[in-house]
Amino acid sequence: MTTIDEGIGSARSSGPSVQDLLAADTRRVPESLKDHSYVPQGSADIPKVRYTSNDFAALENEYLWTRTWQMACTVDELIQPGDHVVYDVADQSVLVTRTKDGSIRAYHNSCLHRGTKLRTESGRVASFRCPFHGWRWDLDGQLTELPAEWDFPQVWNQPESCLPQAQVAEWAGFVFVNLDPDAPSFETVAAKLIEHFGRDFQMEKRYKAFHAVKEVPANWKVCMEAFAEGYHVIATHPQILEFAGDANSEYSIWEDSPYVTRFVNGFGVKSPHLGPLSEQQIADAYLQFSARAIRGSVEVPDGRTAREVVAELFRTMMGQSLAVNLSEVSDSEILDAHLYHLFPAFAPWAGVGQSLTYRWRPGPTADTCYMDVLRMLPVPDGQERPEPAPMQVLRLEQSWREAQGMGGLADVFEQDMENLPKVQLGLKMTAKRAKKGVSMGLYQEARMRLIHRHIDRFIREGLVADGRDVSELEPFLVPEG
């Protein structure tokens, strides 16, 4: 099945590559999908303790989540002055709001008196008033009310009394925040994402049609990595092997934009793990699985492929259901999973088939996290933007099936969720003879290796800047090579 070539991560599975599928597409393929690159990320094991240690989680909380760009909300949630979203990550909280002049600002969500959280829920207010002692700030972050101000001459009417701000960036209908005032710009960090979506995918013409967040019993990296590769399909999602080219997935790392990576899984072709299948068998299996299937079968004529036929069917059905014209949209955008990733934890899909976006955040311990799933659908042709869907919150014990509107996708997610607590428990096996590291693939899991190296760099730089001993990182460090 596999041809071994020289060089780390140069081996590839047999069968058609993603670029082969694009070359056979029945429509013009976006140039962004042809832009693919791979940079080797070594072969060393990843220490297990990075996923299980509360000490390492504390280092991430202090030096990763406070210094990176993270998606806080959509622009559609901040239409009127006073509209605000509370974005919580690790032990930090940010108030993202629309001001009276129409700009968007992000404030540290903490009263400057004794630290009380100003807002615990998103909504709309005329000002931000501390529920403890009544200090009040206007939407521009100016302190406007201080009960018994005579007792606070060091605060009242002083420049330091304004709410501290985080960096804000707007991109393609999303609002991003960064708590580090000295961090590189969003445009620098997200260069490849901005280039590809700006040229080919028009994310700004989508709206939030679904949003659910669930607490997950696993470290945020364990959860994120479950959605970062197609390698797990053979064991976790065997029901899709007849129409998913899992082992032929493409993984891109760009040297000129190292914080953006991409995973593409081609559909409408069989897995190379299976023996011969006819094009009709592939189409029948795909339609039987898909929520877009119609009753009965669709014939695959001689000389045509299941991929072409199913893409044409989905193109028509999706265009009608979404009220948009998809006649010139490529087979790849209709069928395939194009999952981009912006470090550390934002992952938008580029195609129109699912139009999903993911976000991950750490939980209260190293053993838990939060995963957000958004569905960003095209705005119907000739219509105004629909209202953004409210966020549904699922507790640790709840299933994705309880999220209204998630549809058949919930069943696939639950297959992934069954694995995650087992992974977390297995990673804790650190007895004397137990394996101490995680052995990731050299190609299929290279993007995950890169993310770990980014994490180490942020923590190391933070420790140095604070004058702390870098040896604090040593037990968790990803080895070179």
How far is the C-alpha of 461 from the C-alpha of 188, rounded, in Å?
Answer: 19
Mean pLDDT for 374-380 is 95
pLDDT at 317: 92
> What percent of the chain is predicted at pLDDT more than 90?
91
How far is the C-alpha of 367 from the C-alpha of 430, rounded, in Å?
Answer: 15
Which is it for the CA torsion 221, 222, 223, 225, positive or negative? positive
Structure tokens at 79: 């239409």
pLDDT at 4: 34
What is residue 12's three-state secondary structure?
strand
Mean pLDDT for 105-133 is 98
Has residue 208 got a pLDDT over 80? yes
Mean pLDDT for 288-312 is 85
User: How does the average pLDDT of the chain come out, rounded?
Assistant: 94
pLDDT at 431: 67
CATH 2.102.10.10 residue spans of the chain: 70-178
* CATH code, residues 70-178: 2.102.10.10
What does pTM read for this prediction? 0.95
Mean pLDDT for 438-459 is 97
Residue 354: which pLDDT band, with cuts at 50, 70 and 90?
A: confident
Structure tokens at 157: 């009417």
Q: Name which residue leads in pLDDT, 351 or 73.
A: 73
How far is the C-alpha of 285 from the C-alpha of 20, rounded, in Å?
Answer: 22
Mean pLDDT for 108-132 is 98
pLDDT at 293: 57
Mean pLDDT for 250-269 is 97
How far is the C-alpha of 423 from the C-alpha of 3, rounded, in Å?
Answer: 30
Structure tokens at 93: 């909280």
Has residue 192 got a pLDDT over 80? yes
DSSP state of 392: E
How far is the C-alpha of 133 from the C-alpha of 405, rounded, in Å?
Answer: 41
Q: Residue 344, preceding bond cis, omega within 30 degrees? A: yes
How far is the C-alpha of 69 from the C-alpha of 226, rounded, in Å?
Answer: 22
Mean pLDDT for 419-437 is 89
Tens of pLDDT along 363-375? 999 999 999 999 9
How far is the C-alpha of 322 from the C-alpha of 339, rounded, in Å?
Answer: 21
How far is the C-alpha of 393 from the C-alpha of 361, rounded, in Å?
Answer: 14
pLDDT at 295: 56
What's the one-letter identity of residue 244? Answer: A
Tens of pLDDT along 40-65? 999 999 999 999 999 999 999 999 99
Tens of pLDDT along 307-332? 999 999 999 999 998 999 999 999 99
Neighbours of 477 (CB within 10 A): 16
pLDDT at 9: 87
Closest by Cα among 30, 11, 53, 115 to 455: 53
What's the one-letter identity of residue 2? Answer: T
Fold of 2-42+186-427: Naphthalene 1,2-dioxygenase Alpha Subunit; Chain A, domain 1 (3.90.380)
Q: What is the dihedral of CA 401, 405, 410, 413, to 10 degrees?
A: -120
Contacts of residue 256, defined as CB under 8 A and 6 or more positions apart, other chains included, come to 191, 192
CATH 3.90.380 residue spans of the chain: 2-42+186-427
Residue 434: which pLDDT band, with cuts at 50, 70 and 90?
A: confident
Residue 1: which pLDDT band, with cuts at 50, 70 and 90?
A: very low
Burial of 207 (0-12, 13-18, 19+ CB in 10 A): buried
Structure tokens at 90: 């690790």
How far is the C-alpha of 141 from the C-alpha of 21, rounded, in Å?
Answer: 52
